[in-house]
Amino acid sequence: MPIVYRINQAKRIVITQCRGTLMEHEFFDYQREVWSRPEVAGFDELVDMNEVDRIIAPSEQAVRDLANLSASMDAPGTASKFAIVAGDRLAFGLGQMYGARRDFNSKSSKEVRVFVTRAQALEWLGVTEAELAEERGAEPRDAAL
C-alpha cells in the first residue's frame, strides 16, 4: 500500500509512511480516513515521503483543496504540529505549498513544516524514534485507497 499509518496514543501523534507511486486522490483518502477519527483530534502528525518514487498529477489546485480539507478537519482551538519529511525536490516543494495554503486558512490549527530528514522532523516534533517504537505493537493501518 502506498500510505500506511500508525497512531501512537502515548505520544499523541500519527506516524505515516508513504511509498512507491502516489496519486492525488490517495492524499485526500488518507486525510478523510485518519482525521475523521475522533481519537486523533489535536494529535501531531509525521508524514515521511522519503520512500515515494513518484507523485502523479500534483496540481496546484489539488494542493490548495487538500490544505482546505485538512484545515476544516483540525480540532478547533487545539494547536498541533505537522512535519513532512521530503528529501525529493518535488515532494519538498509540494509540502511547502501545502503548508503555506494551510497558513492562509483561518480554520487551520496545525503548524506545518517540511524537513529533508526524519531526524530533523522528529526533533521539531519533540519525539525520538525510540519513543515512537515503544508503541509499535499497534497494528499499522493501510489508508483505505
Statement: residue 136 has pLDDT above 80 = no
| pLDDT level of residue 81 (50, 70, 90 thresholds) | very high
Q: What does the pLDDT read at residue 143?
A: 59
pLDDT in tens, 93-133: 999 999 999 999 999 999 999 999 999 999 999 999 998 88
**Among 140, 128, 114, 139, CA closest to 11:** 128
Average pLDDT over the chain reads 91
| pLDDT level of residue 145 (50, 70, 90 thresholds) | very low
- The CATH number that applies at residue 105 is 3.30.750.24
Structural domain for 107, as ranges = 3-142
Q: For residues 75-99, give the mean pLDDT.
A: 94
Q: What does the pLDDT read at residue 128?
A: 94
Cα angle: 72, vertex 8, 122; to 5 degrees = 85
**What pairs with residue 98 in β-bridges?**
none
Domain count across the chain: 1
| pLDDT level of residue 134 (50, 70, 90 thresholds) | confident
